Structure 1
Amino acid sequence: LIFNAIVDGDIGKYPLISDARTASATFILVAASYLSAIFTSLSVKYIDSAGQLARDNHLAYRRIKGLSQTVLERVQEAVVVINTEGLAVLFNQKAKDLFPALEIGRRADLSDSAAELWDTASPHTFEYVLGTPGLNAGIRAVPVNKGPDKLLILYIRPQSEIQAEALSVKLAALGQLTANLAHEIRNPMSAIRHANDLLRENMEAGAANPFNAKLCKIIDGNVCRIDKMLEDISSLNKRNKTERETIGLIPFWEEFKQEFLLGHPDAAGCIRLDMQGNHPTAYFDPAHLRQIMWNLANNAWRHSRKQPGSISVTIRPAQKNTVCILFADDGGGVPPEVQEHLFEPFYTTAENGTGLGLYVARELAHANFGNLSYLPEAKCFELTLPEKKQ
C-alpha cells in the first residue's frame, strides 16, 4: 500500500495508510514478523550447534568409556568405581567375577564399608579389609574429583592372590639364592666324594674296620641326598626353558615303565595301567613329563604295600582339550594335616627327602600349561596335560 501510494503520488487514496494508528500497528506487526523470523533463525542455528556439540560430546564419552573399560580390563586387580550414593559407576570383568551381583547403577555389596571410611579419610587414599562369607579381600580406595560428583575407585585383591604373590616373590629370591648356592656347593661336594672314595680304597687295602665302613656309608648317603637336592634346584631354575612337542602317551608310558623298573626291579607286576581313549596325546616337554612321572611313581611306590597291582595309573581324556594321568596306590593316602603342605618347597615327611620333588613337579607342569594336584576323595595325584599347543 505504501509503495502504491508513492507511485500514485496521492496518499489520500489510501485511508489505511494515512491513519497513524493503523500505520504504526502495521509497522509493529511487520517488524515483529521479521524479528520472529530472525529469532527463529538464530535459535535454529544455536540448537543445531548445540546438537552437534552434544553429538561430539556423546562420541567423546563413548570413546573415553571404551578406553577406560579397556584399561580397567588390563588392570591385574578387580576395580569398582562408586559414587557418593554407593552406586556402581564402572567395573571390570575381574570385579564381576568376584561379585556376580554387581550391576551399573546398583548399590555394590562392598560400598557401605567404603562409604563410612570415605567420609573420615576423604580426600586421602585409604585401605581396609573386606571379610564376607565367600571372600576375604584387601581393598585400596582412591578418591577422585571433588564436590557432589566425586567418585571412589576401589582396587580389590583377594587375600589368596596377595599371599600367592608374596610367596612368588619369596620363591623367586629363594630360587636365585639356591641357584648360586648350588653352583658353589658342587665343588666341595666333589672333593668330599673323592676323599670318601680314597678312604674306602685305603680301608679295602688294609684291615677291615666296621666303624670306618659305617662312616663311609653315612657320607655316601648324605652326598647322594645333597646331589638330589642340587638336581631338583637345577630343574626348578630351568622350568621356563620348555621344548614342547606332541607326545604319544602309550609309547611314552611303555618307555617310562621300563626305565622305572630298571631302578625299582621289585615293582615288576605291581604297576597296573588303565588306558581310556584311543591313542591319547599330550603337547608337553618330554623331559619335564618324564621327571614329573618319575616323582609321582616314586611316591606311589614308597607309600604302597608293594603287592601286585599296588600302583594304579589311569590315562584318560579330560575336558577342554586336555588329558589327565592319575597316580594312585593302595597305601593310606595323604593325611589331611599334610595335604595343605604337599606342594610347599622343602616340606617333606620322608626321612631322606628333600621336600622339592612335588614342588618342582608342579612348577614344571605349570610351565607347560598343565597342572598337578592331589584329589583327597580318590586318594591320588592328578596330572593334567594339554593335548594341543596353547
Structure 2
Amino acid sequence: MAPPNHRTAHAASPQRRELYFFTLYRVLEAALLALVAFSPLGELMLEIRQPVLLQALVVVYLAAALGMVYASFRSQIPPRRQAALGLGLDLLVAGGVLATTSGSQGGIALLMLFNVGAGALILPQRAGLGFATAAALLVLGDSLLNRTFDPLNARPLAESVMFSVTYLATAVLCELLSRQVSESQALAEKRGEELANQAEINELVIRRMRTGILVVDGEHRVKVCNEAAWGLLGKPSPDRQQLADIAMDLHRALLLWRQGRGDIPRAMTLAEGAPEVLPRFVSLSLTDNLFLIFLDDSRIYSDRAEELTLATLGRLSASIAHEIRNPLAAINYSVQLLEETAVLPEADRRLLEIIHTQCQRMNGIVQDILGLARRERSQPETLDISQFARRFVDEYRASHPLETDILQAISHRSTLAMADPRHLHQVLTILVQNALTYGRMPGEPAKVTVSVPSAPPGAPPELNVLDRGPGIPSAVAEQIFTPFYTTSEHGTGLGLYIAKQLCEANQCTLSYQPVPGGGSCFRIILPPGMTLMQDDSPTGRLNLA
C-alpha cells in the first residue's frame, strides 16, 4: 500500500475529472470578477481603488482560467501540477483583488474556500495544507494591513481568524475524503479486475465443458453457445441466432417446458450425424428473459452405465470364479487318476479326454475373469521392444508346441519404448493365441509374425502381430474389443478386451488393421522410451536421449 500522504497511480482518471470541475469553477470566479470590474454594478458592490489595474488583472485571470479548462483534458501535464499552478494563480489574483478594492475581503475569502478544498482533494497532503496556510496568511495579512492603513473600513480580526481556521479544516477534511475515495477506487478496480478474471475463467471452463450449454432469451435467440453445444447442433453458422432456425426440435421442447407440459422428448438428435442428446432446461430469471439449456451427450450416460455394469459384473464373476476353481481342480485331478487306470475302454478314455479338455477351457475362462477383476497397476519401464519381441517368441515356442504352425519375430533395429513388461507380455500372449487359433486358412498351418517396424524420426514405436488368415469382417471388427463379444463357441469374449485395457493402462493404443491381400494386423503404438547416455565431454555429464 502507498503511504497516507501519497495517492496511487490508479487515481489519475478521477483526479483529472476533479481538475476539470475545479477549472470550470475558476472560470465562474473570473466571470464574477469581470462583472465587478467592467460593469457599473461593481461600483455598487465594492469600492474600487485602482480600476485599470483590476480590469487588467481580471482579463489575464479569465484568459488563464479558459486555458486551464482546455488543459485539464487536453494537456499531458499531470493533474496535480495543473491544480498547484491554478491554485497559486487563484491566491495571487485574490491578493490583487484585495489590494485594488475595499470591502471585498469577505467575498474573496468565501470564494477561496472552494479553491482550497478542491486543491486539497487533488494535491498531496502537504501541498494542500501549504496552500490552505497561504490562503489563511493572505486573509490575515489583508486584515492587518487594513487595520493599519484604513481602520475605518477594516473588518473584525476574528472574522479573518475564522476564515483561516476554516481553510485549514477544509484542507484536512478534503484530504481525508480524497484518501478514502482513492482507496475505494483502488478497491473497486481490484474487485473489478478479480471479477473480470473470474469471468474469463468461467467462460473458458464453460467453453471447454463436455456438456453442451446454451443460453437463450425470451424470444429464443441464442446468446451463449459453448463448443460442445456447437458441435451437437451440427456446427451452425454464427449468423443463425434463432433457436428455431438452428434446432427446431429443441425449440419446441423449450416451448413445451415453458408451458409446463410434461411430454418433453427425453432424447433427440439435433443435427445429421450428431449423437443423441438429453436436453435439460433452467430459468435464469423470474421474468422468463433468459433460459439455460444443458445438452448432455447420451453416449456419456451409456459409457458410464457400461462401466458400472462391467465393474459389477467383474466383481460378481470374480467371486463366482473363486467358487468354481475348487470343484474344477477336483474334477481335473479325478480325470488324471482315471486316465492312469490300466484297463479302460476306448470309449471311456475318449470321454475322459473331453472332460479334461473342457476343464482346461473352463480354467482358461476363470483365469481371464480373474485377470479382468484383479488387474494390477502398470509399472512402465524403458524396454527394447525389438529384443523383447524376439525373447517372447522364443519363450512362447518353447512352452507351446506349434507343430506345423509358424511363429516368428521380425525387427530391423533396436527400438526403445515405455511399457510394463508383464502387461506387454500378457497382451502379446493374447494376440498370438488368437492369431494361431483364428488366423489360419482352412486346412493350412497358421503363419504369425511379431514385428517391430522401423519408425521414422519422431514417430512413436510400434509392435504388430500379423497373421495370414481370412481376416475379420468390418462389421465384426467394430466390436471385437467389446467385453464378452465373441464369434466363437469356445471363446469368452474377454481376451481382446483385457488386452486393450492393459494397453490403455500403459498409455498405449491397440487397434485392428486389415492386411491387404488377406490377414489381420493388431497394432500396438507405445510411448517412446528414454535412456541416459554418457557424454564424451570432459565433464562426463549424462544426457537424456
The code of the aligned residue for 1:254 comes to R
TM-score with structure 1 length normalisation? 0.75
1:155 pairs with 2:292? no
1:336 pairs with 2:474? yes
Contact 1:272–1:311 under 8 Å retained in 2? yes
Equivalences for residues 134-149 of structure 1 within 5 A: 134-146=273-285, 147=287, 149=289
Equivalences for residues 53-132 of structure 1 within 5 A: 55=189, 58-69=192-203, 71-72=205-206, 77-84=210-217, 85-89=220-224, 91=226, 94-95=228-229, 101=235, 107=241, 112-122=248-258, 127-132=266-271
1:169 pairs with 2:305? no
TM-superposed deviation, 1:376: 3.4
Contact 1:82–1:111 under 8 Å retained in 2? no
1:242 pairs with 369, 378, 400, which one?
378
Partner residue in 2 for 1:359: 497
Partner residue in 2 for 1:6: none
TM-superposed deviation, 1:380: 1.6
1:169-211 superposed Cα distances (whole Å, 9 cap, x missing partner): 111111011111111111111111222223223xx23x23112
Partner residue in 2 for 1:8: none
Give the structure with the larger strand fraction: 1
Q: Give 3-state SS (helix, strand or coil) of 1:139's partner.
A: strand
The code of the aligned residue for 1:373 comes to S
Residues of 2 paired with 1:123 and 1:59: CA distance? Answer: 41
Pick the structure with greater CA Rg: 2
Quickly say closer, same or farther: Cα 1:184–1:387, change in 2 above 3 A. same
Contact 1:322–1:384 under 8 Å retained in 2? yes
TM-superposed deviation, 1:111: 5.5
Aligned positions, number: 359
1:381 pairs with 2:522? yes
The code of the aligned residue for 2:523 comes to E
TM-superposed deviation, 1:95: 4.8
Partner residue in 2 for 1:311: 448
| Gap regions ≥5 residues in structure 2 | 1-40, 47-107, 123-177, 531-545
Residues of 2 paired with 1:210 and 1:358: CA distance? Answer: 38
TM-superposed deviation, 1:99: 6.7
Q: Give 3-state SS (helix, strand or coil) of 1:386's partner.
A: coil
| Gap regions ≥5 residues in structure 1 | 1-12, 19-29
Contact 1:275–1:314 under 8 Å retained in 2? yes
Q: Give 3-state SS (helix, strand or coil) of 1:129's partner.
A: coil
Residues of 1 paired with 2:490 and 2:505: CA distance? Answer: 27
Between 370-379 and 227-236, the greater mean CA deviation after superposition: 370-379
Between 190-199 and 99-108, the greater mean CA deviation after superposition: 99-108
Q: Give 3-state SS (helix, strand or coil) of 2:269's partner.
A: strand
Residues of 1 paired with 2:42 and 2:499: CA distance? Answer: 113
RCO greater where, 1 or 2, for CA within 8 Å and sep 6 or more?
1
TM-score with structure 2 length normalisation? 0.56
The code of the aligned residue for 2:527 comes to P
The code of the aligned residue for 1:387 comes to P
Partner residue in 1 for 2:397: 261
Give identity over the alignment, percent: 25
Partner residue in 2 for 1:348: 486
Residues of 1 paired with 2:414 and 2:228: CA distance? Answer: 38
- Taking only aligned residues, the RMSD between alpha carbons, in angstroms, comes to 4.2
Partner residue in 1 for 2:347: 211
Quickly say closer, same or farther: Cα 1:99–1:62, change in 2 above 3 A. farther
